[in-house]
Amino acid sequence: MVAAMGRKAAIIGLAGTHLGAAEAAMLRETPPIGIILFARNIGRPAQLRTLTAAIRDILGEDTPILVDQEGGRVARLRAPDWPSFPAAASFENGPAEAAHANAALIGLECRAMGLDVVCAPVLDLRLPEAHGVIGDRAFSADPAEVTRLGREYLRGLQAAGCVPVIKHIPGHGRALADSHLELPRVSASREELARDCLPFAALAGLGAWAMTAHILYDAMDAELPATLSAKVIARVIRGAIGFDGFLISDDLAMKALTGRPAALAQASIAAGCDAVLHCTGEIDETAALLATCPWLAESGLRRLAVAREASRTHRADLDPAALMALRDTGLVRAA
Q: Model confidence over 152-169: pLDDT tens digits?
A: 999 999 999 999 999 999
CATH number (3.20.20.300, 3.40.50.2000, 3.40.190.10, 3.65.10.10) of 8-330 reads 3.20.20.300
Mean pLDDT confidence for 31-50 = 98
Q: Model confidence over 63-101: pLDDT tens digits?
A: 999 999 999 999 999 999 999 999 999 999 999 999 999
pLDDT at 2 over 80: no
67: enclosing H helix or E strand: strand 65-67
- What pLDDT sits at residue 4? 47
The stretches of the chain forming alpha helices (DSSP H) are 21-29, 45-59, 96-112, 143-159, 190-202, 230-231, 261-271, 283-292, 298-314, 320-334
Please choose, from the candidates 231, 147, 155, the residue with its C-alpha nearest in 3D space to the C-alpha of residue 197. Answer: 147
pLDDT at 1 over 80: no
How far, in Å, CA of 34 to CA of 28, rounded?
12
How far, in Å, CA of 104 to CA of 278, rounded?
27
Q: Model confidence over 97-124: pLDDT tens digits?
A: 999 999 999 999 999 999 999 999 999 9
Mean pLDDT confidence for 37-62 = 98
Write down the pTM of the prediction.
0.96
Verify whether residue 250 is a known catalytic residue: yes
Q: Model confidence over 13-39: pLDDT tens digits?
A: 999 999 999 999 999 999 999 999 999
Q: Model confidence over 177-215: pLDDT tens digits?
A: 889 999 999 999 999 999 999 999 999 999 999 999 999
- What pLDDT sits at residue 5? 55
Catalytic residue of the set 18, 62, 180, 319? 180
Do residues 149 and 175 make contact, with C-beta atoms less than 8 angstroms apart? no
Q: Which amino acid is at 50?
A: T
Cα-only R_g, the chain: 19
Catalytic residue of the set 116, 136, 221, 250? 250
Verify whether residue 131 is a known catalytic residue: no
